[in-house]
Each structure stands twice: as structure tokens, then as C-alpha cells.
Amino acid sequence: MNDATTDIPPPENALKGAALIKDEVTRLPDAPGVYRMIGEDDEVLYVGKAKSLKKRVVQYAQGRFHTNRIAHMVDATRSMVFVTTRTEADALLLEINLIKSLKPRFNVLLRDDKSFPEIMIRRDHDAPQLRKHRGAHTIKGDYFGPFASAGAVNSTLNTLQKAFLLRSCSDSVYETRSRPCMLHQIKRCAAPCTGLVGKDDYQALVDQAEDFLRGKSRAVMAKMAAEMEAAAEDLEFERAARLRDRIRALAAVAQESQINPETVEEADVVALHVEGGQACVQVFFFRAGQNWGNRAYFPRVTGNAEDEDDTATEEQRILTAFLGQFYDDKPIPRLILTNLEPADRDLLAEAFALKSGRKVEISTPKRGEKADLVNHALTNAKEALGRKMAEGSAQTKLLTGVGEAFGLDAPPERIEVYDNSHIQGTNAVGGMIVAGPDGFMKSQYRKFNIKSTELTPGDDYGMMKEVLKRRFARLVKEEEGGDSGARPDLVLVDGGKGQLDAALEVMADLGVDDIAVVGVAKGPDRDAGLERFFMPDKVPFMLEPKSPVLYYLQRLRDEAHRFAIGAHRTRRSMDLKKNPLDEIEGVGPGRKKALLHAFGSAKGVSRAGVEDLMKVDGVSQPLAERIHAFFRKS
């Protein structure tokens, strides 16, 4: 699309607000494109698309706005950037991309936009592998999804293993097997690794699995049933029993899912509910005539989602913004069912078709099974938003209580909690968790591998200093570079006066001593409810044993402890898995594989003599002597 766009650079201009926009209009073409409104410090305020840049942008200069928020946005505008495109559909796709990358504060934004897991049948091996996949489609194979959760994928994989007996092992495991694994023994793999199933027969199983995932489940089950009857007539009762079990596994899919529509093979069902200035979008995924799960989203609603169509409602504009951002990096189904008609529905469908290379229909059904699916999704959206609003109200009260307990000027918007984990100083890791009005902000969590070689093993104060120095040195650097950074309102450190003093010393050195810091010390015998809190220039104090605020602070501390321990265990596990061969110069992946294949393990290599090592392909005498010397030295 780049060859179809033209940048129009902003001129040097002292004007601002509506006057600036009015001046910009005089140079704009009557052509489709995307515009950006820029505020102080080059902050992108808003990104919009237009069928005609000139006609759309002039509306901002006329001073007639639907909300005060739009007026504020116009007043804050200090410059504008324009990109012309070949078509309006190109403009819509570019707008979506810019909103996701720039995250303007006056646009509707899709939050918590994580990738979805899929099922993949790999096609780059003689015995195709069935596995879970997440991310870009870089491996040759067939991809099926999306699934709403890892649990939904695992459940379906479990069914497919029972029904089609495809391998799930890695290539390295497959190539080294000399006898069938446990999965074959429990009738979940046909064992192509040891030749218990012929190549053509295994490929037939792969083809059946592909047909099932593409929605041909009834044909697959009918074929299996015919094979079962034929096997029974030929007195091949064991084979008939195996086919019976495979049919039962497939039939269980229909029973486990709450909704499996009769008239919908492939569709996403999307329902939006807006209440109290907040929005929830429920998305249900239907593939191969099965319900592959659902997920709730809570897009940020700014109150000024606008387009060129003044007749569109705010809900329609929110839904359009959500759909555009949602499908920016996800497979687009042939059919999208919605509870209300998006603004620019036809344009959105055209852009999706352009992106996916095939026709995409966006429909708002009024009756029949499809309408029932949409209503079911809408009910879920209302319930999810109700739960979130209730949780948000409770969270607001808790944060207000935290602010009062620690004498803060206002309830904290961002709380950072720090904890360390190690075993006698080894594999030391620091953990940072973040919480705020929306609960735990897991995308903001950070782990810090303790790097200093000067620390005494087990020096908790030194570890805390290193973690905080790295965290807040980065914050200072971000703020000096003009970035607002993610500055916390409250920092909690696990420990008493010693940990607090260590934290205060680092933050004073970095010039961020205006951030409130509290040490949380466990009670006697580590009893929950008897925690003492340490603050600068204050006597240590406790909170009421049954105080909701105390329970909340305990949850924060426990979450930080859990995260730090998990990071420590991961690091320790990685160290345990390190192979000594990786440290020997000249031993790359190929030679390492050959050595392990020849001697069974690194320990076996360590016992081998120089002459034995030289018998391995690729190992010369100098390298054999180097390997031998390495293990003797160790």
C-alpha cells in the first residue's frame, strides 16, 4: 500500500487549534487519506481517515462539535500530518495500523490485544505433526483457528489425538525413537516414528484431521462408521473397536461445547454493550461448525469516536474502531455477525476483503439461529461489563484506602511491588509486579536477572538496590528523552527498615525521591495479618487485622512473591538444562547432536577417550583433544 500513498509534510506554522486547521485546509486535496492531529511535544492526539481530506478536516475548523472533548482536542492541536491514499479502503487500513502503533489518546483503543493460539498441521516433514501454535505463520503447514484460549486449543488437540492418532512429538524426539512412546500405548498416536503405520495410511489420517478441522466432521465420522462396520463384518473386532473409540472422541466435541450451530460453519460473532461510559465487546469464534471459545474485550472509550457519517451512533463508531483494530493482525473469517451495524460497514467489508484476498461479509441478523448467536454474545457482553464495573468500584475504594493508609495526596494509579528470589544467592532474580485501577497489569511485569559480580551471595539489600537502580535509571532516561514513562505513585518493597533504606538510597541518588516508598515486613512466624509497614520518618505501624486494605496489600505482596519465585525457577531450570558441550569452542549444533547420538549424553562424552571421539563424524583430532581436555579440566 506504500506505493499508493503520498505524504504531505506539515509546513512551519505558528498557528494552533482551529486557526491552524483552517490554514491547513487551503492546501489539502479532495482525495482519500489519513490525518493526524499533533499536540505539544509531538504527541499524537488523534488519527482519522477520510473519503475527502479537504471536506473532512474543514469540519474541525468550523467550530461545530458534538462534545467538549472534541473541542479540547482541536484546541490542543499544534500541527497536522496528512497521508493521501489511492482509495478510501486503503485509508481505513492505514488508519487502523497507525492507531494501533501510535495509541492516540483521543481514539477508541483496543486494549489487551493478545494473539490467539491456533492448531497447526506441519507440512515440512514426512510424518506431519499436530501441534499448538501462536504467532506468525512462518512454518509450512495448515493453520486452524483462532481459539479463544490455550485451554480450548488443548481440549481440541486432546480430541484430535484420540480421533486421528497424529504425532505431537518434536522432530528431534521423533528421529531418536526406537520403540513406540506412551502416547501410542494409550491409543493417541499411530507411531509413524517406528513404522507401525505406513506412510500412506498415516497420510490418510492427516487428511481426515484436516477435513475435520475444515468443517467436514459429518463426512469424516460417516466414513469412520462405514469402516467400523466393514471391520466388524470381516471379524476384525480390535480394529472395529479402535474406530468406535475414535468416533466417540469426535462425537464428544459436540457434547462438550455449549453452542454448535447448524447453519454457521465459519464466523465470528461480535456483540458490543456500552454503559456508564465503558464498553465491552464479546467475540465468539465458530470454526468447522464448532464453538472454539469466546473472549471479552474492554476498549478504551474516549467519547469522541467520530467519522464522516453524522448519522452513525457512538456505539456504531466504537464497534467500527474495534473491528478494524481487532482484525489488523488476525485471520479474518468469511462472515462477521454483529449485534448492531458498524459505521462504514460496506467500507470495512471492502478493506477486510482487500486484506484477506477474498469476500468478507459483515451482517447484523434479525431472526433465526444467527440472531440467537448474536443475542447470546450480547448477554455475555452485558454480564462481563457488569462484573468489571463492580470490580472497578471495589478497586477504586481499595486504592482510596491505600492512599489514606500511607498518607498519599491521592489514590495511587500505579503501584509497583518488588521482591527477590534466590537459593543461597544462586540464580538470583528480582521481580516487579504492577497494579492499578484495572487490577494487576501483567503486561507491565518485569523480571531482573541479578548481574552484579560484587554482591555477596544472599545479599538481599544489594539485590534490591540493583533492581531499583536498573528500573528507575530507565525511567529517568525515558523522562529526559521527552517520554512520560511509567512513573509509579507508590513503591512497595518486600522487607523491613533495611530494605526500605536500601530503596530510598537508590531513589535519592537517581533524583526520584518524590515517589512514595513503603517497606512491607512479614509478621512473626511470617503470619499473614500481622505485617508491619515502614515509611520514612515514621514509626512502623500495622493495619486493622480484618481491613480490606490489608487484604489487598497482602495480595499485592503475594503476587510479587509468586512472580519472583516463578522467574527464579525458570532461570534455575535453564541453568540445569545447559549442556557442557555448549561451552566447548568448535562444537556447534551439528557436532553436538552427533556426539550426543554417539555417546547418549554429555556424561557419556566426558568419559570417552580421544580415539573414540575421533570416530564421530565431524570431530577431528584437535577437536577431540580439546573436548577430552575440557572434561578433564572440569
Note the pLDDT of residue 256. Answer: 47
- Average pLDDT of span 604-619: 87
Q: Are β-strands 532-534 and 516-521 bridged in parallel, bridged antiparallel, or unpaired?
A: antiparallel
Instruction: Kindly report the average pLDDT of the chain as a whole number.
Output: 83
CB 247 within 8 A of CB 225: yes
To the nearest 10°, the Cα dihedral for 464, 469, 470, 476?
150
pLDDT at 391: 74
Question: Cβ contacts of residue 141 below 8 Å, gap of 6+?
Answer: 120, 121, 122, 123, 124, 128
* 246 backbone dihedrals φ, ψ, rounded to 5°: -70, -40
Q: DSSP alpha helices (H): ranges in 165-236?
A: 171-176, 182-185, 199-213, 217-233
Answer for the pair 318, 325: CB distance below 8 angstroms, yes or no.
no
98, 111, 322, 333 from 281: Cα distances, Å: 21, 11, 8, 17
pLDDT at 423: 65
422 vs 556 pLDDT, higher one: 556
How high is the pLDDT of residue 518?
Answer: 94
Distance CA 154, CA 158 (A): 6
- Helix (H) or strand (E) run with residue 286 in it: strand 278-287
Is it the case that residue 12 has pLDDT exceeding 60? no
For the ranges 172-176, 240-244, 535-539, the lowest mean pLDDT is seen at 240-244
262: cell is: 447448524
Q: What's residue 1's pLDDT?
A: 45
According to DSSP, the residues that pair with 296 across neighbouring strands are 282
pLDDT of residue 407: 92
Q: What is the pLDDT of residues 488-504, one digit of tens each?
A: 999 999 888 989 999 99
pLDDT digits (tens, 9 = 90+) for 57-111: 888 887 666 567 788 888 889 999 999 999 998 898 899 889 888 888 888 888 7
Residues 619 and 545: their CA atoms lie apart, in Å, by: 68
Q: What is the pLDDT of residue 305?
A: 47
Residues 622, 627, 632, 634: what is their CA dihedral angle, to the nearest 10 degrees? 130
Contact, 323 vs 270, CB < 8 A?
A: yes
Q: CA torsion, points 346, 350, 351, 354, in degrees to nearest 10?
A: 170
Q: Which pTM value belongs to this model?
A: 0.62
Question: Is pLDDT larger for residue 393 or for residue 355?
Answer: 355
- Residue identified by cell 499485592 is 556
Would you tell me the crossing angle of helices 314-326 and 345-356 to the nearest 10 degrees?
A: 0
Query: Has residue 249 got a pLDDT over 90?
Result: no
End-to-end Cα distance, the chain: 58
Cβ(358)–Cβ(383) below 8 Å: no
Share of the chain above pLDDT 70, in %: 87
DSSP 8-state code for residue 11: P
**Are 412 and 295 contacting, i.e. CB atoms less than 8 angstroms apart?**
no
From 47-51, 307-311, 401-405, 532-536, the region with the lowest mean pLDDT: 307-311
Whether the predicted pLDDT of 428 surpasses 70: yes
In the chain, what are the domains?
2-102 (3.40.1440.10), 117-256 (no CATH), 267-383 (3.30.420.340), 415-575 (3.30.420.340), 580-633 (1.10.150.20)
Spatial contact of 591 and 618, defined as CB atoms under 8 Å apart: yes
Q: Which of 346, 356, 287, 359 is nearest to 320 (CA)?
A: 346
pLDDT at 261 over 90: no
pLDDT for the residue numbered 515: 92
> Which pLDDT belongs to residue 336?
95
